[in-house]
Amino acid sequence: GENVEQHPSTLSVQEGDSAVIKCTYSDSASNYFPWYKQELGKRPQLIIDIRSNVGEKKDQRIAVTLNKTAKHFSLHITETQPEDSAVYFCAANTGTASKLTFGTGTRLQVTL
């Protein structure tokens, strides 16, 4: 089955700096890659996603890149703000009704 690895496990950046979180996946059939933000005690919230027919997608300060050949995808957050502090999970999906396989999460801390 699919295995998703995520790095780093913790990331501390100063406000205004950029943050990059990387994930690799094992199943070449995976074709949908969402990113979720989870604040303490709350639900995972979808922040951006990318499908395998696209190499990059951007939404304001957030961008995701996908390298299908290398089987890795990354989340980029620019101009970080304190409210970006949360745990971020990447995930991979192989089919319309099939499960999401999650990475182990990255705890992002944005300091003033």
Partner 1 sequence: EPEVTQTPSHQVTQMGQEVILRCVPISNHLYFYWYRQILGQKVEFLVSFYNNEISEKSEIFDDQFSVERPDGSNFTLKIRSTKLEDSAMYFCASGVDRVAFFGQGTRLTVV
**Positions that interact with partner 1 (CB under 8 A):** 32, 34, 36, 42-46, 49, 89, 91, 93, 95-105
Q: At closest approach, how far in Å is the CB of 19 from partner 1?
A: 19
d(CA 38, CA 44): 5
Q: At closest approach, how far in Å is the CB of 66 from partner 1?
A: 15
Return the SS3 of 82. Answer: helix
Q: Is 60 left (phi over 0), alpha (psi -120 to 50) or beta?
A: left
Instruction: Report the residue number, 40 or 112, with the smaller CB distance to partner 1.
Output: 40
Instruction: Report the residue number, 46 or 54, with the smaller CB distance to partner 1.
Output: 46
Instruction: Report the residue number, 97 or 112, with the smaller CB distance to partner 1.
Output: 97
Q: At closest approach, how far in Å is the CB of 53 from partner 1?
A: 13
Q: How far is CA 1 from the centre of its chain?
A: 20
**What's the maximum distance between 2 C-alpha atoms anywhere in the chain?**
42
Write down the residue that tokens 């995520």 correspond to: 6
